[in-house]
Amino acid sequence: MTAGMTAGHVVTGAALANCLGTDSRTVFERAFAGEGPDGDAFSPASAFSEFPFPTQLGIMSGAAPSDEDVLDCAPTRLATIALASMRQLRPAVRGAVARWGARRVAYLFASSTGGIEATERWLAPDPRLPITGAGYRYADHGIDATGAAIARSLGIAGICMAISTACSSSFKALASALRLIDHGLADAAVVGSADSLCRTTIFGFHSLGLTAPTATRPFARDRCGITLGEGSACVLIERAVAATTRHGLARITGTGAASDAFHHTSPHPEGVGGQLCMRQALDRAGLRPSDIDCVSAHGTGTRLNDAAEAVAVTRVFERRVAMTATKSLTGHTLGTAGLTALVLAIESLRRQEIPATLRLAPPDDSLGVAVVGKRTPTRLRHVLVNAFGFGGSNASVVVSEPSASPS
Amino acid sequence: MTAATTVGAVRILGAAFFSTHHASAGDLLAGRERPLTLPSYGLLVGRARRFTSLVTQLHLEVCGALHGGAAAPPIAVFATCHGEIQTAAKLIADFHEASVVSSARFALSVHNTASGMYSVAVGSTAPTTTVTGGNAIAAGWLEASLTVLDTGQTVLLSIADEPVPAAFHGPAGLIGLAAGFLLGPESSTGRRVELAIAPDAAEPEVDAGQVLARGVSAWIGAAPATVTLGRIQVGAMLELRFAAEGVAA
C-alpha cells in the first residue's frame, strides 16, 4: 500500500440484469416494489423449452446488443445475458481505465454453467432454440471465452481469470479480485458473472427433486424448492484512494470462504461451512455480528438449504437479524446468485430499505429467523450476503455504506 | 509492458504427476508412452467412486499423493481448462434421448466437483476454489500462490483435464493429465520458485502436458529453470522461475 491509499475496496460501479429487467433501474424498481405483479417475474418452463414436469423459470427476455457492443465471440444466450449488465458498467470502467491504465484493470468472470446452453443447441437440437451466429464453436462452451470477449470490449488489458465453483462462483471471483488488488497486481477489477438457463440444469435440479412446481418460496413453511433463473451481474472494485472513495457506491469490507466437508449436493444440517465463512467475513471486516443490519440469504427455497442456513445464521448472529431472500425475486441464477444479491444489497444501502422476500406467508417459524416479507425501510450500514453451492462451497461477503466504519 | 512484474515467491513442498499415457513427467517430456492407464480412486471410497469422472479421478490421484504432506488439510485451488466435459456430454445425451438425467451424474457435473469430493474425502472445511478456461494452469498457479502469500498457509494446487468428447468438435488428441503441487510460504522448507508476469507479444501455443511435466521436473531437479505457464493478461505470460537449488531466497 502506498501513501495516500486507505484500506479497503471501493465499489465504483455495479449493474445487473435478470428476469426482472435488462437494466439495473428496472430491476431495482421491480425488486423493491414488493408483492404484486411488478415483483413477480417468473414464467412456466414451457416458455423456454419442453419439460415433462411442471416448474417455473426466471427467464430474461428483451436483451439485445446495442451499437456500442462489439463482442468478438458468438452471440450466445450467455453472451447476450452477460452483456446486458456489463454494458451498463462501461462508463465506470472507462473512468477506471483512465485512472489506472488498461493493464492495471483486471477482469474476473464467474459462471456455473458457462456456455453449455450453446452446446445443447448443437448436440440436442430444439427448434425453439436455434444456433445463433455463424454456428457452433467449442470455444463458446467454455466459461472464459465470453468473459475474455467482454473484457476486450470494455478495453481492459489486465489479468484475466475465470472462476467456476457452482453457486458460489461470483463470490470466489470477487475474493480473487480483491487479492489481485491487495498484492499490487491490479488497481481495479471488474468482477462479472453470468449464467443462462439451460436444459441440463433444469433436468438436473429436477432429478435431485429440488425444482419447485410453483414459484419458489424461500423460508416459507410449505417451501418446496428452487425456481431456476438466469441473469448477469457485475461490479467494478477499485483500490481505495481519494479519487475512488469520493464517488464510491459501497465498500467491500469482508469476504469469507469455507467448505461443508459433508456432501456434494446436500448442505451440512448445521450449516458448518456457512457459519465459518460468515464468521471469517465478519472478522475480516472488523465487525461484530451485532453490526450487521441485514443478511441477504442464499435462500434457495429448498427444505434442507433454508433450514441449514437458518441454523448457521442463528449460531453466528445469536439474535433475529433481519433476513431477505432475493431468489424469490430473481430466481436462482446459479453462479451469478451471489453477485446478484450483492448488487441488490448495494441498492438496499442506497435506498435504506430491505427488499421483500416474496411468497413468504406463512413463514416457517420453526426456523427461528426473522425473514422480511415486506419491503422494509430501516437503517442499513452493513449487509452480509451469502452464496452457498454444490460441493459444500460456501462464501460470504460484507458490503458496507461508503462511509460506514466498525462501531 | 516493458519489464517483468514479480508476483512473489513460494516454496514447493511436494509435487505429483499423473498421465494416462506416461509413467512420469520425465517420460512425457521424453516422449515415452505407456499403455492407457487409469488413475486409482485415490481418496475416494465406496459409492463416491461410481459416477466419478476421469478428470475428478485425476485430480484426486494427485491430491491423494500430496495429502500427507501438510499438517492439516490445506486450502485447495483446483484448475481445469475443460472441467467435467465428459459428464456434460452424457447429461445432454440423456435428456435429449430420454428426457431424464441421472441425479448422481448431475450432482457431479459442476466445475468444482473435484474440490467438493476432496473436501468431503479429507474432512476439510478449508476453502477451495476452481479456476477454469484456456489459461487455467497460469490462473491456478497465480491464485494458489497469492493465497499462500495472503494467508502464510500451505495451499494445495491441483491441475487436471480429461479428453474432450469428439462430439464437441473441441481440441483433439488430449489425454488424461494431472499435476499437483503443495505450496508453502517462503519460511517453509522446499524448492523456492518465483512467479513473474513477463511480456510476450507473441501468442505461443501452450501444451498443457509439457507445461505440467516441466513444472514437476523443475521441482525434482536442482538446475535453474523457467517454466512458462500461459497467458495471464494481454501480451504477458505467467512464468515460474526456479533458481539453482541452494541459492538463498
CB within 8 Å: A142 and B132: yes
The top-level CATH class assigned to A9-245 is alpha beta
pLDDT (tens digit, 9 = 90+) per residue, A283-315?
A: 999 999 999 999 999 999 999 999 999 999 999
For chain B, the domain total comes to: 1
pLDDT (tens digit, 9 = 90+) per residue, A177-221?
A: 999 999 999 999 999 999 999 999 999 999 999 999 999 999 999
Which long-range contacts does A285-288 make (Cβ < 8 Å, 24+ apart)? A285/A253, A285/A254, A285/A382, A285/A398, A285/A400, A285/A406, A286/A253, A286/A254, A286/A406, A287/A253, A287/A254, A287/A382, A287/A398, A287/A406, A288/A406, A288/A407
Answer yes or no: is B58 within a domain: yes
CB within 8 Å: A208 and B103: yes
Q: Is the pLDDT of residue B2 over 90?
A: no
pLDDT of the residue at B48: 74
Whether the full predicted model's pTM is greater than 0.90, yes or no, is: yes
CATH of the domain at B166: 3.40.47.10
Answer yes or no: is B223 within a domain: no
- Among B8, B127, B130, the residue with its CB nearest the CB of A257 is B127
Instruction: Write out residues 145-164 of A within 8 Å (CB-CB) of B.
Output: 145, 147-148, 157-164
- Residues of A recognised as catalytic: 167, 298, 332
- Beginning with the edge strand found earlier in the chain, give each strand of the sheet holding A43-44 in spatial order: A43-44, A56-58, A228-229
CB within 8 Å: A208 and B135: no
Closest chain B residue to A122 measured between Cα atoms? B168
CB within 8 Å: A143 and B149: no
Answer yes or no: is B237 within a domain: no
Give dist(CA A154, CA A364) in Å, integer. Answer: 45
Answer yes or no: is B228 within a domain: no
Answer yes or no: is B140 within a domain: yes
Task: For residue A45, list chain B residues with Cβ-Cβ distance below 8 A.
Answer: none
Mean pLDDT over the full length of chain A: 93
Q: What is the pLDDT along chain A (407 residues), one digit of tens a residue?
A: 333 333 579 999 999 999 999 999 999 999 999 766 556 799 999 999 999 999 999 999 988 777 667 788 888 999 999 999 999 999 999 999 999 999 999 999 999 999 999 999 999 999 889 887 778 889 888 899 899 999 999 999 999 999 999 999 999 999 999 999 999 999 999 999 999 999 999 999 999 999 999 999 999 999 999 999 999 999 999 999 999 999 899 999 999 999 999 998 899 999 999 999 999 999 999 999 999 999 999 999 999 999 999 999 999 999 999 999 999 999 999 999 999 999 999 999 999 999 999 999 999 999 999 999 999 999 999 999 999 999 999 999 999 999 866 54
Task: For residue B119, list chain A residues with Cβ-Cβ distance below 8 A.
Answer: 259-261, 391-392
Q: What CATH fold (topology level) applies to the domain A252-399?
A: Peroxisomal Thiolase; Chain A, domain 1 (3.40.47)
Answer yes or no: is B232 within a domain: no
Answer yes or no: is B242 within a domain: no
Task: For residue A390, list chain B residues with Cβ-Cβ distance below 8 A.
Answer: 107, 110, 112-113, 116
Task: For residue B102, list chain A residues with Cβ-Cβ distance below 8 A.
Answer: 207
Least Cα separation, residue A252 to chain B (angstroms)? 17
Answer yes or no: is B233 within a domain: no
Pick among B45, B90, B102, B112 to test the A interface (most A CBs inside 10 A): B112
Task: For residue A157, list chain B residues with Cβ-Cβ distance below 8 A.
Answer: 233-235
- Among A112, A172, A272, the residue with its CB nearest the CB of B125 is A272
- Among A209, A273, A391, the residue with its CB nearest the CB of B125 is A273
Asked whether A387 and A63 are in contact (CB, 8 A), the reply is: no
As for the ipTM of the complex, it is: 0.95
Spell out the domain ranges in chain A: 9-245, 252-399
Give dist(CA B16, CA A345) in Å, integer. Answer: 43
Phi-psi domain of B42 (left: phi exceeds 0; alpha: psi -120 through 50; beta: other): left
Same CATH topology for A9-245 and A252-399? Answer: yes
CB within 8 Å: A390 and B112: yes
Task: For residue B128, list chain A residues with Cβ-Cβ distance below 8 A.
Answer: 165, 259, 391, 393
Confirm or reject contact between A129 and chain B (CB < 8 A): no
